[in-house]
Amino acid sequence: MKACEYRQIPPGTPGALPSSSESPVPAASAGLPSSSSSSSGSASAPPPPPPPPPRPRRKWEVFPGRNRFYCGGRLMLARHSGVFLLTLGLIVVTSGLFFAFDCPFLARNLTLAIPIIAGILFFFVISSLLQTSFRDPGILPRATASEAADLEKWIDNLGTSTYRPPARTMEVVINKYMVKLKYCYTCKMFRPPRTSHCSVCDNCVERFDHHCPWVGNCVGKRNYRFFYAFILSLSFLTAFIFACVITHLALRSQGNDFLTVLKATPASVLELVICFFSVWSIFGLSGFHTYLVASNLTTNEDLKGAWSNKRGSEFANPYSHKSVLTNCCAVLCGPFYPSLIDRRGFIQADAGTPSTPKSEIPSFGTKSDASMTSALAVPPARLRSRVEKREVVRRPYAVSETKPFTS
């Protein structure tokens, strides 16, 4: 047995390589720290952590219309909402002055029912205003790239000659009346009956009535009943405050000079002025929309005279039920339709959507429609050069107001 099997080599001294019969013991297996591994570990920094995955975006963040969204897309308004804030401020300030300066006197001298009735009306006005302003009015989603390409191909196939442009209108039959459907160049689709494109919000809205800056939103299929409730309750609240303020001033002026009473109650004078100049327009607007509800018309149709009786029986309103009560129930008590734009939905890749081959797709651009972008808002190049004379195509559709038309 050898006395020493291994010999120690001082640091810095060149030594011979170990023989093949002698295998070096690794430092790690011997339980000793390795100087080479520690020096290499200190020299090379640890690899950077992988970047976090991109945050999934919701559809309201890339919505192509001119709207503003709040509370994660749950609430929506038109982009210019300053007049809506003015409306809300006038209602709150006028009602607040009435509750603070007139209601205590009237409750002591007349009856406690006055502030209770005013509070109920104020609640109805504010709730219906917020429902009208922050609700989707019935916006239709724009066509996807594949849908627009297929529709464009179908329209191009309708042309029978090279000098005549393809059709941009078609007619459908609703309750035995012919209704013309127009093509929307922005949304890339034929608008359904009673649908119109709002130039302020840049959206196609179902049963479009009008764009109301006072509520900061379009008035359409999904919020018309709330708009009508708003103007009707506001007319009652304005008339109630106006009558109560006059009663308040009349009671205070008994045995006193009327001018002195006016100087002593400036808040009541301010309420009187606001109510006097607003009650007439509010009552007129309420009466006009009551007529529209009873006739099952919209403001847009009434102003354009689309279903005027002066044009003959063939232009009669196909949506009217020939009964005032039935029309009121259909407009105000009909089914509540869900929103179609899915504001809070996540954007998904459009990989699985079937599309037309590239050789058959017109030049719409290369933008993706997975996020409802407005790439389709630009019409194709050949659509820009078409003359304004268009052919009206009569299609054998038979639809009703509540059922989608089928060919």
* Residues identified as active-site: 212
CA–CA gap between residue 96 and residue 356 (Å, rounded): 61
Burial of 290 (0-12, 13-18, 19+ CB in 10 A): middle
DSSP assignments along 89-111, one per residue = HHHHHHHHHIIIIIHHHHHHHT-
Q: Name residues whose C-beta falls within 8 Å of residue 343's C-beta, 6 or more positions apart in sequence.
A: 58, 59, 60, 63, 69, 73, 74, 76, 136
Helix, strand or coil, per DSSP, at residue 198: strand
The label of the residue with tokens 């050789």 reads 359
Q: DSSP letter for 313, please.
A: G
CA–CA gap between residue 307 and residue 317 (Å, rounded): 5
Burial of 192 (0-12, 13-18, 19+ CB in 10 A): middle
CA–CA gap between residue 219 and residue 295 (Å, rounded): 17
Name the nearest CA neighbour of 403 among 314, 339, 335, 325.
335
3-state helix, strand, coil in the chain (%, to 5): 45, 10, 45
CA–CA gap between residue 318 and residue 42 (Å, rounded): 83
Name the nearest CA neighbour of 95 among 121, 73, 64.
121
Helix, strand or coil, per DSSP, at residue 220: coil
CA–CA gap between residue 366 and residue 373 (Å, rounded): 12
Given a contact cutoff of 8 angstroms between Cβ atoms, the answer to whether 219 and 210 are in contact is yes
